[in-house]
Every structure is written in C-alpha cells, then in structure tokens.
Amino acid sequence: MAAPEIVHELPRRLRLRWPPLRDRRSDPLYVQALLENIPGVTQVRVNRAAATLVLQHDGAPATRAAILARFDPLPGEAFRCFEPPQPAINPLNLAFLGLSIVSLRLLPPTLQGTISLLIGLPTLLAGADGLLNRGVKVEVLDAGAVGISLLRRDYFTANMIVLLLNVGEYLRQSSEDQTTGLLRTLLRPQVEQVWLEREGIEVRTPLAQVRTGDLLLCGPGELVPLDGTICRGDALLNQSSITGEALPVHRQAGDSVPSGALVTEGRIVIRVEAVGSDTGLARINRFLEQALRQRSRTQQRSDELADRLVPVTLALGGGIFLLTGDLRRAAAALTVDYSCAIKLATPIAVKTAMYRAAQQGVLVKGAQAFDQLARVDTLVFDKTGTLTQGELFITDIVPLNHLDENGLLALTAAAEEHYAHPVAKAVLRAARDRGLTLPATSQVDFIVAHGVSAHVDGQQVLVGSHHFVAEDEGIDCGAAAEPAAAFAHQGKNLLYVSRAGRLEGLIALRDRIRPEAAGILTRLKQNGIRRIVVLTGDQESTARALLQALPQIDALYWELQPEDKAGIVQQLRDQGHYTAFIGDGVNDAPALVTADVGISLPCGADLAKDAAQALLLQEDLACLATALDAARRTGKTIQDCFYATIGFNSLFLLLALTGCIRPLTAALLHNLNTVGILGYCATRGLSASDPAARPTSPKDNPHDH
C-alpha cells in the first residue's frame, strides 16, 4: 500500500496526501479516528475528494514518527466501508447560494436560466437516479418541483427548494459532527504508554506496539491495559469495573488478569495473551458508525411516509392539469409538497437534541439510541459505582479495650498510613476529617490480601480481616463477635485492630449511596419510569441495606454473575417492559447489550462504553434524568412538526388546487413553513432540558414492594 506523501509541514501541523482515500471501500471516519487516537495528535481533518489529511499535533518528533508509521500497516477495518459518507456541505457555499438567489433578478433572463440550471442540476440528477434505481421517491418530487419551476422560468422557486434542501443537510451534518467530536474525545485510550521487560531491562513502550507474549509490568496505581497471566509477583487488584466487587482481590503467579483491573498494592509481571489496541480502534470505528450513520426508527418512518406522499402530490398535480388544463395550478400544487419538512424535521430535531444532551452531560450514540431512550419505562441499575460511589467510608468505630473512638482511629490510621488499599484510604480520610495526630510508626509490613503489621509507639499493631488477626495471628476476637455479626447483617465490611496481642476494637466500613440517588429516582418515577430494578454481585446483607436506604427501588437481586444480570434484563423485556440498563463494569456488558438501551457511566470500563448506547459524561445521576427528558421532549417536538407540516401544507395545497394562489406564492408559503418548522426543530433541540429484595437464588422471583 502506498505510503503517505508529506505535502506541507509546520512544527505542529502536517499535511499528507494519501491516494487510497479515493478508494470507494475506504472509511475516512475510521482513518480519522485511528489517527486521532495517536498520543500527541489533537485534531485530524480528512478530505476524501483531494485524498489529503491535515493533522495538528504536539510537535514532538516521536508523535510525527508515530503518525507516519500508523499507515504501515493500516488495519483492514479502514477498507470496510459499506455506505459511502455524504459529501460535506460548506457554509460558505450555502451563503453564496443564498446570495445568488437574492441577486438573480438583477441578471439578464438568459443568464438567470443558465445559473438556475447549474444550481438545480445536482437535485435533478439525484431525482433521475432515484427514479431509475429506487422508483418514485422523495428525490423524484424534489427534482420534479425544481424541473417544472425551471421549465416555467420560475427561477426563484427552483432555487429556494435547492437552498432549503442544502440548509437541512448542513444542519444535520453540523449536529452529527459535534456529537462525533465529543465521542472521539471520550474514547481516547486510558493507557498510552506501558512498561515492558525485555532481556531483563524495563523499557517504556507505546501500548500499540505491545505484542502477544510480551512481559508487561504493573505497579501500584496502574491500570492493567491488556489481558494476560501473572508470571511473577502478587498484588491486590481493584476489579470493580469488571466484577462489581467493591473490595480488591488478591492475585498471584498463575492467575489470569483482565484488562481494566487497577493495581492497588503489589507489583506483578504479566505475560500478555491478547493485544487489544486493534480491537479498541475497531470499537471506536463502530462507535462513529453508530453516531453518524444510523437512522432512528422514527426517522425511517418519516422517510417512508414522505415517500408515500410523493405519488399523492404528483397525482394531485397531474389530475388538476387534466381537469383544468391549467399548468400554473399544477405547478403550484407540485411546488407545495410535504416531503421537505417531513424528511428533514426528524433528523434535525434528533441530532440537535443529541448535541444539546451531550453539552448537558449525556452522549447518545446515534439517532436510533435516542429514539429508543424516549420509550424506556423500566430502569435497571447495577449497584456498585452507579447508585453507590464505589468508595468505602467508615460508618462505625467500636473500641473494645482502653481506647476511645479517636484513639482507636488514630492507632489504625498510623498503621495504615503508608498503605494504598481502599480500606486504608477510608481510615486515613476519617482521621484527617477529625483532625487527629498520628503516633510514630515503624517496621511496617504489608501482607497482601490480609492486612498490615506495624510498630506504633514501639508496640506491634495488627490491622486487617478476621482471618488475618484471629486465625493467622492468634488474637482472641471473641469480644467483637456480637457487633461484628450486627455489622455483617447490615452489609458492612469489617476491620479488626489489635495492639500488643490484644484486640483493641472493630471498625466498620461501607460503600456510600450517591447523595443525589434518592432525589433522582423519585424524579424519574415522577417523569414516567414505572419500575426501578437493582442488580448486584454483593451478598444479601449488603444488598438489602440499599433497599432500606432507597425505597423507590421496586425489585432487588443480589449475588449475580454477569450472565445472570443479562438474563434478568431479558426477562423484563419478555414481560413487555422497555428497559434501560445503567452500569459501568466489564461484567455489565452482557446486560448493556441485552437491554433496549444500555447506559454507561464516565468512569466505566472500555467494554462497558462499547456495549452502551448512551454515555453519561459526568459522575452525576441527574444526567440520566436529563437524557430521558431530552429524548421525550424530542419525540413531542417531532410530533408537533408532523402535525404542523400536514396541516399547513394541506391548506396551501388546497389554495393552490383551487387557483387562489400563484406558484410563486405557494412556493413562498411552503418554503416559509418549512423553514419555520426546521427552525422550531433546531431551537427546541438546542434548548435546555426542563429540570423538573432478591430471593435466595438469582433465578427466583425478585423482591417486590
């Protein structure tokens, strides 16, 4: 394949000529996404007709080299475009067209006719192509209206029809481009550079260059970017985005590690088993195809209705000519068609509303997803990270010896001070909030997946699970049995603290419910959501605690596997519910795909974002209510436009058929009506949205209120 040719270059700008862009199979959107995901590249513009690309980047030599290397080889997805993109409409061309129409009367008649023919030629050719290949469709009526107007030398009418069609297409393209830009920004890879071990030396390498079998190093705070197996070391991994578990899990040599897990403690060497860069880029391409190429069900129905009305309009025009012999009446009738507003109103309303929703924190991937969102009556939530914050907080401190609460907390925080575990972060946060001074600590020893051993003021302090403190270290924890049982029943995580061989106390922790959750669930039910269901992999006691805090929940399931979640969503659909599933982990992907609409949170795993049809861009459930409001308001807008189109155009058509208005007047009324309807669609779309217990087995019936 031909390498790109550098046409022009500035320190931070590169213009390339690449002939394969002219290949009909090439996918410019995929190529653009591919290049924009190179670290250091900020913007890419593709001109398919000229076979050129213009790239803005950070000016680093490594970035320039990566750009040129990206073409060799180029993934096969770059040449799997089955639907050629529509040519972009330049606003300057629209302005020039409008100016030409206004100034046309100042020119000699012959020149007026020549210019009008050139302006209308693309529409005439599109109508001829449609008639020959697809039958009597909207394009035929557009061409017929333009053609008869040209034959009658009614150049203003002909040119206005062409202008309106182009303005509508420009508005649609503009809104799609805005949504696509947000999508590309959101889906940039979370990891761009990784550390590999090669011949005993650690080498920093771009993620795209990692191959199967490479040894990948991951330490505390780092995200595991690729699937693999641990060959050395052990670590605690936060897999909440994958399994939904709030607490990290211990993994050691021989264990498999999924991409998306976060190393909270320890250091591991992973043998890479699956390289995900190409897969990720393919997902980005599918995202772009969804956002730009899918038509909603409502839009499809609108287009079908517009096509069915074409023969009606043509028959009325032809019939009045046969009855009266008045070509003027026939031309007037043909000029007043229903198709312009019906065909353009729906995509403009949906796309502008999608853009506005994205500005307010919700990115909906395609018109079809936006259309489906308006029909949702049942919301299914994954618990961890959606209704809860996904972060542990201390709820109870129980001293059992001579310390008070602050003393026990300070002792625990001193032992945990250098620990990166989520439990340690919760303890230190609570100590800081109380303004406690921590005693001196030495000889700290982290026991992975068990706890901490440290010397505080010269005495050994143990902090960890019951298994670590009682069973491994032999500390008598009988005094904590009663409060521990109560806390476990409430779904809380327990931390045992001992000093010098004696149990000092017990600390309970729990993931907090999002502060906005209760209010948003109430608002959702007030706005038409009939049923709220929560699914979780947590134990029964933890799940039931959520049910007590959020009485708006209608059904609760616990101890679920990913396939169980998808099965429950399918059951709800089979019962006639139109469902939306809200989740953020890899484990949620099956349910996200099964639901009528899948919704992912911004911190969600890449696979969850891929599976979802809508993405919340902010860590706020209010965005969910905003999305549903916007979708339903858009449906109302489309309905208003449909009735206005049918009503006004029927009136104009009646006036034209009876000879009460001339063709020019009919065209003006029709065009003004169309512009008004499209303007209403755009204005409404861009306007701000109005604020306004599971049984013992996942297969059993849910706990219903």
| Residue that terminates a domain, selected from 85, 110, 141 | 85
295 pLDDT tier (thresholds 50, 70, 90)? low
| Residue 216, strand partner residues | 196, 270
The pLDDT assigned to 44 comes to 87
Confidence of residue 443 (pLDDT cuts 50, 70, 90): confident
For 254-271, what is the mean pLDDT? 84
Residues 22 and 123 in one domain: no
DSSP string, 143-205: HHHHHHHHHTT-HHHHHHHHHHHHHHHHHHHHHHHHHHHHHHHHTS-S--EEEEEETTEEEEE
Query: Same structural domain for residues 154 and 200?
Result: no
State pTM to two decimals: 0.58
Q: What is the rounded average pLDDT of the residues 604-633?
A: 78
Instruction: Name the pLDDT band for 374 (thresholds 50, 70, 90).
Output: confident
Q: Is residue 622 part of a domain?
A: no
* Residue 424 banded pLDDT, cuts 50, 70, 90: confident
Alpha-carbon gap, residue 649 to 666, rounded angstroms: 9
What's the CATH code of the domain at 244? 2.70.150.10
Q: What is the CATH number of the domain that holds 37?
A: 3.30.70
Residues 438 and 548 grouped into a single domain: yes
Structure letter (DSSP) for residue 223: B
What 8-state DSSP symbol labels residue 261? Answer: -
Residue 499: predicted pLDDT: 93
Q: How many domains does the chain have?
A: 4
pLDDT in tens, 668-687: 787 778 778 877 877 776 66
**371 has a pLDDT exceeding 70:** yes
Output the six-digit token pair for 695.
């049984």
Helix 28-36 with 277-293: angle, nearest 10 deg:
130
Q: Half-sphere exposure of 19 toward its Cβ, with a 13 Å CA cutoff?
A: 3
pLDDT at 77: 61
**Residue scoring higher pLDDT (177 or 624):** 624
Let me know if residue 620 belongs to a domain: no
- Looking at per-residue confidence, does 7 or 606 come out higher? 7
| Same domain, yes or no: 661 and 528 | no
Report percent pLDDT > 70 for the chain.
80
Q: Rounded distance, CA 313 to CA 318, Å?
A: 9
388-399 vs 441-447, strand pairing mode? unpaired
Q: Name the residue among 226, 296, 275, 293 with its Cα closest to residue 80.
A: 293
pLDDT at 691 exceeding the cut of 50: no
Q: Count CA within 13 A, CB hemisphere, residue 96.
A: 7
pLDDT, greater one: 614 or 191:
614
pLDDT band at 231 (very low <50, low <70, confident <90, very high): very high
Residue, of 453 and 698, whose pLDDT is higher: 453
CATH number of the domain to which 460 belongs: 3.40.1110.10
Lowest-pLDDT choice from 341-350, 471-480, 625-634:
341-350
- Amino acid residing at 231: C
Same domain, 588 and 554: yes
Nearest to 347 by CA among 324, 323, 366, 321: 366
Chain position carrying tokens 């979802």: 612
Give the Cα separation of 277 and 279 in Å (integer): 5
Phi, psi of 164 (to 5 degrees): -65, -40
Residue 240: pLDDT over 70: no
For the beta carbon of residue 149, count every other beta carbon within 10 angstroms. Answer: 26
Q: Is residue 290 part of a domain?
A: no
Average confidence (pLDDT) over 415-437:
86
Q: Active site residue: 307, 382, 511, 596, which one?
A: 382
Domain boundary among 85, 110, 142: 85
**Who wins on pLDDT, 683 or 182?**
683
Average pLDDT over residues 399-419: 89
pLDDT band at 533 (very low <50, low <70, confident <90, very high): very high
Q: What is the pLDDT of residue 405?
A: 93
Exposure string over 269-293, b if 16+ CB within 10 A, otherwise e: bbebeebbbeebbbbbbebbbbbbb
Which of the four pLDDT bands, split at 50, 70 and 90, describes residue 4?
confident
Judgement on whether residues 203 and 171 belong to the same structural domain of the protein: no
The radius of gyration computed from the CA coordinates of the chain, to the nearest angstrom, equals 32
Task: Answer whether 124's CB lies under 8 Å from 147's CB.
Answer: yes
One domain, residues 81 and 97: no
Most confident of 121-135, 329-343, 654-668, 686-700: 121-135
Angstrom distance (rounded) from CA 236 to CA 3: 45
- Pick 698 or 676 by higher pLDDT: 676
Which of 260-269, 400-409, 439-448, 673-682 shows the highest mean pLDDT? Answer: 400-409
pLDDT the model gives residue 173 = 64
Q: What phi and psi values does residue 73 have, to the nearest 5 degrees?
A: -90, 160
Distance, CA of 369 to CA of 599 (rounded, Å): 10
What pLDDT was estimated at residue 179?
A: 47
Residue 388 contacts residue 511 (beta carbons within 8 Å)? yes
- Averaged pLDDT for residues 619-647: 84
Is pLDDT larger for residue 554 or for residue 493? 554
The three-class DSSP label of residue 534 is strand
Most confidently modeled of 84-93, 299-308, 362-371, 397-406? 397-406
- Given a cut of 90, is residue 696 above it in pLDDT? no
Q: Which residue has the higher pLDDT, 337 or 179?
A: 337
623 vs 416: CA distance, rounded Å? 37
- Whether the per-residue pLDDT at 404 is higher than 90: the answer is yes
| Cβ(414)–Cβ(441) below 8 Å | yes
Q: What's the pLDDT score for residue 449?
A: 57
- 419 plus 494 within the same structural domain: yes
Q: Clarify whether residues 394 and 509 are in a common domain.
A: yes
Range of the domain at 55: 5-85
203 DSSP β-pair partners: 196
Distance CA 558, CA 393 (A): 21
At residue 497, the pLDDT reads 95
Give the Cα separation of 499 and 518 in Å (integer).
Answer: 41
Q: How many beta carbons lie within 10 A of that of residue 511, not counting itself?
A: 26
282 domain residue, yes or no? no
Task: Taking each helix axis as running N to C, give the angle between helix 138-151 and helix 339-359, from 0 to 180 degrees, rounded to the nearest 10.
Answer: 120
Structural domain contains residue 291 = no
- What are the structure tokens assigned to 585, written together? 């982990």
DSSP code per residue over 551-579? TT--EEE-S--HHHHHHHHHHHHHTT--E
**Mean pLDDT within 397-416:** 92
Q: Write down the H helix ranges in 276-366.
A: 277-293, 297-324, 327-335, 339-359
Q: Of the given ranges (244-248, 534-538, 577-581, 692-696), which has the lowest mean pLDDT?
A: 692-696
* Three-state SS annotation for 57-75: ECCCHHHHHHHHHCCCCCC
Residues 6 or more apart whose CB falls under 8 angstroms from that of 197 comprise: 203, 215, 216, 217, 269
> For residues 602 and 616, is the Cβ–Cβ distance under 8 A?
yes
The answer to whether position 649 is within a domain reads yes
Place of tokens 């911190």: 603
Burial of 43 (0-12, 13-18, 19+ CB in 10 A): middle
For residue 240, being part of any structural domain is answered with yes
- The whole-number pLDDT of residue 335 equals 67
Q: Do the domain assignments include residue 571?
A: yes
Query: Which of 37, 54, 85 is the endpoint of a domain?
Result: 85
Average of per-residue pLDDT values in the chain: 78
Res 244 pLDDT > 70: no
* 384 and 267 share one domain: no
* pLDDT at res. 606: 62
**Are 559 and 667 in a shared domain?**
no
Same domain, 231 and 167: no
Report the pLDDT value the prediction gives residue 177, as an integer from 0 to 100: 61
- State the pLDDT at residue 340: 67
Is residue 584 part of the annotated active site? The answer reads: no
Q: How far apart are CA 477 and CA 499, in angstroms?
A: 12
Please give the DSSP secondary-structure letter assigned to residue 246.
S
